[in-house]
Amino acid sequence: MWSKNAEPIIEPQTVGIHSLSRDACLTPKGVRSFLKLSRLSTDDVLKQQLNNKLNHHESTYSNRKKEKSSICNDFFESSILPAWEARSNAIEFCHKEAVKFRQEIKSEESQINRRNELVDTRIDPYALRDLQQELEEKYLRVDQLLNWVNNEKTIEQIVRSRSIGMLQDTCQLDSDSPLVKRMNSCE
C-alpha cells in the first residue's frame, strides 16, 4: 500500500501455528525469517506508522479531533498486538516442540539402555557406540533449539520494551495509563 506522500506502508505479516512444524523449528531459517520480517514491518517502523496515523487524523479531522490516546490504542490493538502475538506463538510453539523432543529422546535413551543388556558386542561391536552417538547428536540439536528459543525470547523482550517506550513518547502516555499497562502485560 502507498500513502498520499508516496511512502510505503508495510502491513504486518502473521504466521499461523498450522504452518509450523518440529522440522521448521529444528532448522529455524523460516521461523527466523518470519520473526525478522514481523519485527521489521511493525516494531522497527512503529514511530513512522504511528506518526502517519496521528498526522493523517489531525489533517483530516481537524474539527473533531479524536483523542491521541484513542488513536494510539487503536493502532496498538490493530497493528502491534497481532504481530506480537504471532511472534510469541511461533516462539512458544518451538519451545514446546523442543521440550517434547527432549522427552522423546530420554524415552529412546531408556529403551536403548534396556536393549544394551541384550546386545552382544561380539556380533556388532559398533552398535552401542553408534546408538550413543546418535543420541548425543539429538541432544545437541535440542540444546541448540532451546538456546535459539531463549535468544528469540530475549530479543522479543528488548524489541517490545523499545516499542512500548516509543509508544509512550509518541502518544505522550504516562506509565499509569491503561494502554501502557496493557502493553506491559503483553511482555
- The predicted pLDDT at position 176 comes to 80
- Contact partners, residue 65, CB within 8 Å, separation at least 6: 57, 58
- The predicted pLDDT at position 59 comes to 64
Closest CA to 40 of 92, 83, 78: 83
- For residues 157 and 47, what is the distance between their CA atoms, to the nearest angstrom? 18
- The predicted pLDDT at position 91 comes to 96
For the purposes of burial, counting CB atoms within 10 Å of the CB of 86, is it exposed (0-12), middle (13-18) or buried (19 or more)?
buried
- Report the share of the chain in percent with pLDDT over 90: 45
Cell of 32: 527466523
Q: Within the chain, which residues score under 70 in pLDDT?
A: 1-18, 58-66, 115-121, 187
Residues 187/160, Cβ–Cβ less than 8 Å: yes
Residues 36/55, Cβ–Cβ less than 8 Å: no
Q: Is the pTM of this model over 0.85?
A: no
The DSSP secondary structure of the chain, one letter per residue, reads -B-TT--B-PPPP---GGG--HHHHHSTHHHHHHHHHHHHHTGGGHHHHHHHHHHHHHHH-SSSPPPHHHHHHHHIIIIIHHHHHHHHHHHHHHHHHHHHHHHHHHHHHHHHHHHHTT--TTT-TTHHHHHHHHHHHHHHHHHHHHHHHHHHHHHHHHHHHHHHHHHHHHHT--TTSHHHHHHHHT-
- The predicted pLDDT at position 149 comes to 96
